[in-house]
Amino acid sequence: MTTTDGYRARRYSPERSAWGRLTARDSVLRRLDWVMVWAALALSGIGTLLVYSATRNRTELNQGDPYYFLLRNILNTGIGLGLAIGAVWVGHRALRGAVPILYAISVLLTVAVLTPLGATINGARSWIQLGGGFSLQPSEFTKITIALGMAMLLSAKVDAGERLHPDHRTVVEALGLAALPILIILLMPDLGSVMVLVVIVLAVLLASGASNRWIAGLIGTGVLGCILIWQLGVLDEYQINRFAAFANPALDPSGVGYNTNQARIAIGSGGLLGAGLFHGSQTTGQFVPEQQTDFIFTVAGEELGFVGAGAIIFLVGVVIWRACRIARETTELYGTIVAAGIIAWFAFQSFENIGMTLGIMPVTGLPLPFVSYGGSSMFAAWIAIGLLQSIKVQRPVSA
Amino acid sequence: MTNLPDSGRTSRVTIRLIVIQILVFSLLLTLAGRLWYLQIRNGDEYTAEAADNHIQQVVAPATRGSILDARGVPLADNETRLVVSASRTDLMKMKDRGRTVLARLAGVLNMKPEDVAAKVRLCDAKTPKPCWAGSPYQPIPITDEATTQQALQIRERAEDFPGITAEPTAVRRYAGPGGSNTAQVLGYLSPVTDEEITKAKAGRSPLLRSDQVGRSGLERQYDSQLRGKAGVTRYEVDNLGRVIGKAKSDKAVPGANLVTSIDARVQAIAERELDQAMKDARKEVDKNTGTNYKADAGAVVVMEAKTGRVVAMASNPTYDPNAWVGGISAKDYQNLTGKDSGFPLLNRAIQGQAAPGSIFKVISATAAVKAGYAFDDNYNCSASYSIGNQVFKNFESKGYGPINLGRALEVSCDTVFYDLAYRQWQKDGGNNPKHPADWFYKTAHEFGLGKETGIDLPNEVTGRVPDREWKKNYWEANKDSWCKQGKTDTSYAGQIAKENCESGMRMRAGDSVNYSIGQGDTLVTPLQMATIYAAISNGGTLWNPTVGKAVISPDGRTVHEIEPRSHGRLPFDKRTRDQIDGALAGVATQGTAAWRFEGWPQKEIPMHAKTGTAEVYGKQTTSWFATYTGDYAVVMTISQGGTGSGASGPAVRNIYNALYGVDEKGKIDAKKALLPHPETGLPKIEKDGTIEARPIEPPPPSPSARKEEQDS
């Protein structure tokens, strides 16, 4: 293709200063969903306080420095925000091209966990120690890559206008893509993450418009699998007891039952307004294990009461509500599927995490998004926020 | 960007997004509902559980106050023993749950490892004793009899004995100063029961698991004052039981000291004399039964006549109260309460009751005067007295002819009182009473019989005045068995039963006659009689006897004196009282007790006495001896011991000798007198809790015993 010298067709691209670009009516900043950003920031802020309260006198964990976890959590949140900005900058569409690479990296990392590189914490081999007190939990990122990868496959033909809904072959491919990392994570065994991933897969399939038969078949297979595991006695009695102890702490009184019981006492004793930040006896006395991570909600329950703990649920609701709006309003199926995956992830993981502290869900090792201490989980959650923002910002203006 | 189809999505996707949205928000609503349920609806329950979780109490027992005699000599105090304790919290943190440490400890203490292990296990429904019933956060005592050597081994090798302490600890001690025992008066302690803790919760002095509670005697009566308040330190602990802070704490308040009116020296003499008198009685042959007297029980009370304060109170058989310290063994308990034990836990001065015999006659004499029979009139003292075909013997006396009431008391003439009682019975309507005056029964009530004296000792018994009301109730309760027995049984007992069946509801002539000389169904305690004779001495005031004299705070600063209180006056005027007083002096000088008070310095220390020998159906006679001077009343009784003056006489004389420093020839040596006048002051307790009291020596053997040695 040749062009005439001296003449360059100027695309419509008014010169604007950087500041002008950011503040203009149609700027990225103005088009961001700030409600969601503020809600996520508020969750991270509350989380930071709760992490500090839970760890300031856990000397066996904080190496004698009461601010150890506080500072690290602030740093994690900062990195998370940076990753979110990066995600908006790059954009989910650009990432679409990088999905195979991201997927490959994430699978390799999960495999690495099973090698001697991995570290076992609380019976699950799901971490890679990075040194300096930092560690990586690849299963957190798998949540993103599965959503992105499945969305890419399922939306390709639809967004290209070739089909109204994904065909069976595509669905099989997408399920295969999800099955590989899920199986690896099942080997760790990190049941909590597997549960979340399965829910993400379900939501992604739902949002993709895949045939009802797939949805029904998947759910049916899951139920059948559970019945088979139960009936064939694959699990030992103590494993079943540990699973059921959330409902009846007496089944595993020194293990999960103890956690459940202490968590319930902590939350229950909070009452309407709580004991006040740093004043909870259950928290100060370290009666609840894993309180800065999986059981962070108990700190909120005890020290901030119904008002504070309810606010966390409310803020999670706000994030999800905004995400739902984004999912509904975007016209491109790719974005819709990614948003639906993230919605399912946030909602189910929050429900499972808070639910286990309240004694209505079995105890699994899952963090509360934005609130729990933990780098990987924080990063993954903020990347997800970035992706949602990108979907909103890059929404094509319908004709 | 325009290569996308206009319809970005199909309606299927839109509907499914809505489904996802509904599902997601119902999950969040579920969480909010559950949160409300836990925090708002059941919040209180969990708040309580959280408090239980993180507050642990450590109890520092209060030092129990001492029980002192009137001069400050400790009758019950605390001694420091080396107590080896184990901290369960520390042991449980060890890998083997402390097994190695306990085994090592057992070696040092010369105990069996399994015994040591048993002591630190916690009591529950499945664990047999021994086990630890207290708080697991409380140091658990392994032994309170560690030697200094053992304690040093444990303390010097602290690294070998983590969680084990060897500390000097206060343990109750009944020192038995000067050979006194005072067991039944002092009482004893034993660990508190669950019921008591529950009961005391609402009260003013709540009990703690570690508390010992007074079970009888002064330890029980003054328990709340003596016990003090245990210190409770409440620690906030974390999940491993590590202390992370101190919550509200209460300091231990040591118990107050109880000063009693007991004089340990006199107490020792009283115990010695009672014991000796019973031993001597057992050597005498009972002419009625032809066997030696059993002398199975006895009691003596020495009381201040003007205040009712108890200077000495002894009960025999007795026991060593130290048997209770540190928990009583099953064998010891059997020895104290078994069938053949003689029930040494009973304080027979307040819990033993028997017919009073002739020492009751002061009451009959007063009643006669009240009924209109002049004291100085003459009444016929015949050798026997007949009503119908019934003959009533003049037990202790012979016929003296016409004598006045004073002389009747002196020589203890039964027939004079028989006659008076019979005439009063007839006056009251005989077998068909109409508004009977019942002077003899009314007077007994007015003398305080049939009810407690109100002494500050628990479980005092009332005795019994067998008046018409009692007879009626008693007959109602027993008539069925009497009538049944009377129909078939032809023995003497059967005849009595038959008679009782037919007429037991009535006050019969024989009942009244027997009653007038203290026989029959009348029951009194030695303390009641001491109260009555003290009242005759002091002009008529019936004091509530007291053993406690003052409660003094541990630092000696606050003194709460226990003032004597009266429960009435004897129903006679001054003239009658003087006449009786004179007659009782006559008993000691020329009456039934004269032979026991030979050479007594009657002028310096006027002695008054009354002897009594009570018949008990199926048993040997009860010996009674009631005496008083201006300062003291002394009453002694020996069950199945013989006559009043015979069995109890020398003992009572010896007690007086010791009190006033009188030798056997009747000479008074003021230096030898233990207590010529009642102690009026209180011992001084210093600020630091020390009490000045000179150590006292046990008394020599009883003069009666010494005499015996010389004889043989």
Q: What is the pLDDT of residues B663-681, one digit of tens each?
A: 988 899 989 999 999 999 8
Total count of domains within chain A = 1
d(CA B471, CA B507): 7
Q: Is the pLDDT of residue B377 over 90?
A: yes
Total count of domains within chain B = 3
pLDDT at B133: 64
Consecutive H or E run containing B221: helix B217-221
Nearest Cα neighbor of A301 from A283, A321, A322 is A283
CB within 8 Å: B49 and A269:
yes
Nearest Cα neighbor of A328 from A207, A155, A215 is A207
Residue A17 lies in a domain: no
d(CA A38, CA A140): 22
pLDDT at B126: 72
CB B369 within 8 A of CB B637: no
The model's confidence at residue B239, banded by pLDDT at 50, 70 and 90, is confident
Cis peptide before A189 (omega within 30 of 0): yes
d(CA B307, CA B311): 11
Cis peptide before B139 (omega within 30 of 0): no
What are the φ/ψ torsions at residue A312 (nearest 5 degrees)?
Answer: -65, -45
Same domain? For B387 and B489 the reply is no
B248: CATH:
3.90.1310.10
Q: By CA distance, what is B21's nearest residue in A?
A: A324
Position of tokens 């997800």? A384
Same domain? For B459 and B497 the reply is no
Strand ordering across the sheet containing A134-136: A118-121, A124-131, A134-136
In this structure, what DSSP letter does residue A42 have? H
Paired tokens of B1: 């960007």
User: What SS3 class is residue B167?
Assistant: strand
Cis peptide before B130 (omega within 30 of 0): yes
Residue A398 lies in a domain: no
pLDDT at A61: 80
Q: Are strands B55-60 and A118-121 parallel, antiparallel or unpaired?
A: unpaired
CB B637 within 8 A of CB B356: no
d(CA A22, CA A28): 7
Residue A12 lies in a domain: no
Average pLDDT over residues B533-551: 95
Residue B431: which domain range?
357-466+507-516
Consecutive H or E run containing B335: helix B330-337
| Residues B565-591 pLDDT 10s | 999 999 999 999 999 999 999 999 999
Residue A243 lies in a domain: yes
Residue A144 lies in a domain: yes
pLDDT at B318: 94
Distances in Å between the alpha carbon of A192 and those of A103, B189, B577? 20, 60, 100
User: What SS3 class is residue B651?
Assistant: helix
Same domain? For B368 and B241 the reply is no
pLDDT at A191: 84
pLDDT at B25: 96
What are the φ/ψ torsions at residue B67 (nearest 5 degrees)?
Answer: -105, 120
CB A280 within 8 A of CB A49: no
The model's confidence at residue B491, banded by pLDDT at 50, 70 and 90, is confident
B426: CATH:
3.40.710.10
CB B585 within 8 A of CB B602: yes
Q: For all residues of chain B together, what is the average pLDDT?
A: 88
Residue A2 has a CB neighbour count (10 Å cut-off) of 4
Say which of A309, A331, A360 has its CB closest to residue B9: A331
Residue A320 contacts B where some CB pair is shorter than 8 Å: yes
Q: Is the pLDDT of residue B4 over 50?
A: no
Q: Is the pLDDT of residue B413 over 50?
A: yes
Q: Is the pLDDT of residue B299 over 60?
A: yes
CB within 8 Å: B244 and A284:
yes
Q: By CA distance, what is B244's nearest residue in A?
A: A285
CB A333 within 8 A of CB A391: no
| Residues B197-210 pLDDT 10s | 777 766 666 677 66
Runs of H (alpha helix) within chain A? 18-23, 28-31, 34-55, 59-62, 68-90, 92-114, 138-159, 168-187, 191-208, 212-232, 237-244, 256-268, 281-284, 296-299, 305-329, 333-358, 375-393
Same domain? For B380 and B501 the reply is no
Same domain? For B365 and B494 the reply is no
Same domain? For B454 and B480 the reply is no
d(CA B543, CA B548): 14
- How far is B90 from chain A, CA to nearest CA, in Å? 18
Phi-psi region at B357: left, alpha or beta (left = phi > 0; alpha = psi -120 to 50): left
d(CA B180, CA A39): 85
d(CA A392, CA A92): 10
Residue B522 lies in a domain: no
CB within 8 Å: A320 and B24:
yes
CB under 8 Å to B268, separation ≥6 — which residues?
B178, B179, B180, B181, B698, B699
Residue B410 lies in a domain: yes
d(CA A362, CA A365): 10
Same domain? For B375 and B406 the reply is yes
Same domain? For B142 and B241 the reply is yes
pLDDT at B205: 63
pLDDT at B203: 64
Nearest Cα neighbor of A85 from A41, A124, A55, A54 is A41
What are the φ/ψ torsions at residue A233 (nearest 5 degrees)?
Answer: 65, 35
- Chain B hits for A203, CB-CB cut-off 8 Å, are 20
Residue B371 lies in a domain: yes
Q: By CA distance, what is B34's nearest residue in A?
A: A358
Same domain? For B143 and B199 the reply is yes
d(CA B362, CA B635): 14
Residue A326: which domain range?
32-393
Segments of B553-617 assigned E as strands: 559-561, 566-569, 608-616
Same domain? For B363 and B483 the reply is no
Residue A6 lies in a domain: no
CB within 8 Å of chain B, chain A residues 171-200:
none
pLDDT at B590: 92
Domain boundary, last residue among B260, B280, B304? B260
- Chain A hits for B245, CB-CB cut-off 8 Å, are 284
Give the orientation angle of helix B414-427 with respect to helix B361-370, to 10 degrees. 40
d(CA B160, CA A268): 43
CB B410 within 8 A of CB B396: no
Nearest Cα neighbor of A95 from A349, A388, A352 is A388
User: What SS3 class is residue B90?
Assistant: helix
CB within 8 Å: A351 and B28:
yes
Paired tokens of B103: 């085994």
Average pLDDT over residues B264-287: 94
What percentage of residues in chain B have a pLDDT greater than 90?
Answer: 52
Paired tokens of B674: 């233990």
d(CA B234, CA A122): 34
The model's confidence at residue B9, banded by pLDDT at 50, 70 and 90, is low
- Chain A hits for B27, CB-CB cut-off 8 Å, are 347-348, 350-351
Average pLDDT over residues B373-399: 88
Pick the range with the lowest mean pLDDT from A162-166, B50-54, B136-140: B136-140
In this structure, what DSSP letter does residue B690 have? -
Residue B189 lies in a domain: yes
- Chain A hits for B17, CB-CB cut-off 8 Å, are 207, 324, 327-328, 336, 340
Residue A122 lies in a domain: yes
Residue A349 has a CB neighbour count (10 Å cut-off) of 27
- Chain A hits for B2, CB-CB cut-off 8 Å, are 396, 399
Strand ordering across the sheet containing B310-316: B310-316, B297-304, B632-639, B619-628, B608-616
CB within 8 Å: A343 and B2:
no
Same domain? For B371 and B496 the reply is no
Residue B573 lies in a domain: no
Amino acid sitting at position A138: P
Domain boundary, last residue among B213, B233, B260? B260
Q: Are strands B67-68 and B257-260 parallel, antiparallel or unpaired?
A: parallel
Distances in Å between the alpha carbon of B502 and those of B284, B350, B425, B505? 40, 35, 19, 8
Say which of B9, B45, B236 has its CB closest to residue A336: B9
Domain boundary, last residue among B220, B242, B260? B260
Residue B50 lies in a domain: no
CB within 8 Å: A281 and B51:
yes
Q: What is the ipTM of this complex?
A: 0.91
The model's confidence at residue B6, banded by pLDDT at 50, 70 and 90, is very low
CB within 8 Å: B47 and A360:
no
**A·B CB contacts under 8 A:** 171
What residues pair up with B258 in beta bridges, in sequence order? B67, B551
- Chain A hits for B32, CB-CB cut-off 8 Å, are 310, 313
- How far is B202 from chain A, CA to nearest CA, in Å? 26
Amino acid sitting at position B466: P
Residue B11 contacts A where some CB pair is shorter than 8 Å: no
Same domain? For B462 and B414 the reply is yes
Mean pLDDT by 10 residues, chain A (399 residues): 51 64 76 94 96 87 86 95 94 89 93 84 76 81 95 91 90 94 88 92 94 91 85 74 78 78 89 89 82 92 95 97 93 93 97 94 91 94 96 66
| pTM, full prediction | 0.67
Residue A341 lies in a domain: yes
Segments of B185-286 assigned E as strands: 189-191, 212-214, 231-237, 243-250, 257-260
